[in-house]
Amino acid sequence: KQEVTQIPAALSVPEGENLVLNCSFTDSAIYNLQWFRQDPGKGLTSLLLIQSSQREQTSGRLNASLDKSSGRSTLYIAASQPGDSATYLCAVYGGATNKLIFGTGTLLAVQP
């Protein structure tokens, strides 16, 4: 059974710092991996999707990497801003199950 773990559960950094969020998964037979952002009391916003054949994806200050063989993904946020404060969730999609399996998220606070 696929399990997705995110470390750390919470992170507080000063504005301007570069930071890395981690995601690990137990079954490497995934179709893709996605990173989402969730603001308090809101729905999820898709940030980046990495197909299983890809190593990384970039969007603005965000860069996500995928190492399928080791079951790991990282989300790198450059020059963090207070507006980046949110919960970040990773999720893996396995073709056999047709389901997204979510991690429990990392709560990020960027201090001005």
Partner 1 sequence: DGGITQSPKYLFRKEGQNVTLSCEQNLNHDAMYWYRQDPGQGLRLIYYSQIVNDFQKGDIAEGYSVSREKKESFPLTVTSAQKNPTAFYLCASSMVGETQYFGPGTRLLVL
Q: Is 89 in the site for partner 1 (CB under 8 A)?
A: yes
Q: Is 49 in the site for partner 1 (CB under 8 A)?
A: yes
Span 4-33, contacts to partner 1 by CB under 8 A:
4, 31-32
Q: How distant is the alpha carbon of residue 84 from its chain centre? A: 13
Cis peptide before 40 (omega within 30 of 0): no
14 burial class (0-12, 13-18, 19+ CB within 10 angstroms)? Answer: exposed
Q: Is 103 in the site for partner 1 (CB under 8 A)?
A: yes
Minimal distance, residue 85 CB to partner 1, in Å:
18
CA separation for the pair 69, 99 (Å, rounded): 20
Q: 48 with 23: CB under 8 angstroms?
A: no
Find the binder of partner 1 among 14, 41, 60, 112 (CB under 8 A).
Answer: 41
Minimal distance, residue 74 CB to partner 1, in Å:
18
Minimal distance, residue 64 CB to partner 1, in Å:
13
